[in-house]
Amino acid sequence: MARYWLLCLLMASLAWGGSASAQQPEPSQPPAGTNATPAPENGAKDSPPVAAVPPDAPVITIPGLCDHPSDQPAPPNCTTVVTRADFEKAMELLHPGSHKPALKAFANKYANYLITAYRAQEMGLDKKPFYEAKMQVDRMALGRRVLEEKFDTEEKTKVTDKEIESYYQSHTDDFVEVDVDRVFVPKLARAQDSDPKLSEAEQQKRRQEWFEDLRKEAEKLRVRALAGEDFLKLQVEACILAGLTEKDADPAMITLRGVRRSMFSEGQRPVMEVKVGEISPVLTDNNGYSIFRVKSKTTRPFEKASGEIRHTLRKEHAKHDMDVLLQSATVTYSDDYFGPVKEKKSDTTASNPGAPQRNP
């Protein structure tokens, strides 16, 4: 009984932490520059002969641990045994579909949860006043998660090939990939600009002046890039200008391969309009100033993009299903408690103001 209670808690905790494990992307081509064949986990050369283990065979055994009343000692033969069937049921509940974690890693986590859950029960924590309230909240989170899984599963079979092709034709720009060299001047505040003796307004003024100085230095670096100077050399100087060291200029971070529009921050996206062989203006976002040299530009073919598009459409449809469901009920909030509803201001900031999401 306690074991199934534990599974509910585990699923609810994942629901609060996000439902990524329940909604994994479709298989797709590996990113440029990566190995298409995954390396064995933990250095293992061969998988164990799982098929030879019968469903009722114990795969996890924990002596001295079992479900018993908190006001009574554990019985002499107290042992928790998890069979293969039990274990795989737990894994399927927590990681549905084909995207499974390593068996031993999940087994270790599952065993740890069993130990802590049973020990908490022995301490009588499940009898505390707050316990039922927490369980109720966890049940709500679990309900949301299984509903998301239901919509996601249903939509998986509804996306048509025609819909995928139409999406690709109307979003071709989203599948353009560029290889670029980059010099990045980070916006790093100086310690002297945060002197507590200064007023907040003076601190802010000094920071803005410092960032403007960095922008001007970035413009100088761009002129040198146009003259053909080495980007790594320029990156070293960029780091030193920002208060870092030469060692912070990582050669591996100069060239970014297979980067798409969505991987750049809003301020960096104009690089997608730069022609091959040319150098971008200094592009600014919340993290700093970037200078790009476009080395190549290609469009991912439909055959390689179709899996990703299917996944995108599936998520969009599932979200629509959830939105319709949420709109089926009217919610009224107390102005006396929450305050009056404020008008939302238009937000023109980038959703991801940082450097490219891959190889930032």
The confidence score (pLDDT) of residue 166 equals 97
Query: What integer pLDDT is reported at residue 101 of this predicted model?
Result: 66
> How many domains does one find in the chain?
2
What's the angle, vertex CA 248, arms to CA 243 and CA 252, rounded to 5? 145
Q: Domain boundary residue among 96, 128, 145?
A: 145
- The domain of 232 spans 174-299
Q: What is the CATH number of the domain that holds 264?
A: 3.10.50.40
* Domain-ending residue, one of 279, 299, 319: 299
Query: Which is more confidently placed, 65 or 23?
Result: 65
Does residue 13 share a domain with residue 73? yes
pLDDT at 1 exceeding the cut of 50: no
Last-in-domain residue among 245, 274, 299: 299
Is residue 34 packed enough to be buried (19+ CB in 10 Å), middle (13-18) or exposed (0-12)? exposed
In a domain, 26, yes or no: no
Whether residues 134 and 230 fall in one domain: no
Q: Is residue 125 part of a domain?
A: yes
Residue 1 in tokens: 């009984």
81 and 192, same structural domain? no
Q: Which residue has the higher pLDDT, 296 or 11?
A: 296
**Pair (100, 141) in one structural domain:** yes
203 lies in the same domain as 244: yes
Query: pLDDT by residue (tens digit) across 151-202?
Result: 988 888 899 999 999 999 999 999 999 999 999 999 998 888 888 888 999 9
Q: How many residues does the chain have?
A: 360
What value does the mean pLDDT take over residues 124-129? 86
Model pTM above 0.85? no
For 205-262, what is each residue's pLDDT tens digit?
A: 999 999 999 999 999 999 999 999 999 999 999 999 999 999 999 999 999 999 999 9
**Residue 49 — pLDDT band, cuts 50, 70, 90?**
low
How far is Cα of residue 154 from the mean position of the Cα atoms in its chain?
A: 24
Q: What confidence tens digit (pLDDT) does each residue in 294-335 have?
A: 999 999 999 999 999 999 999 999 999 999 999 999 999 999
Mean pLDDT over 122-135 rounds to 87
* pLDDT at 148 exceeding the cut of 80: yes
* 206 and 260 inside one domain: yes
Domain membership flag for residue 283: yes
Residue 185 in tokens: 């001047």
* Same domain flag for 9 and 135: yes
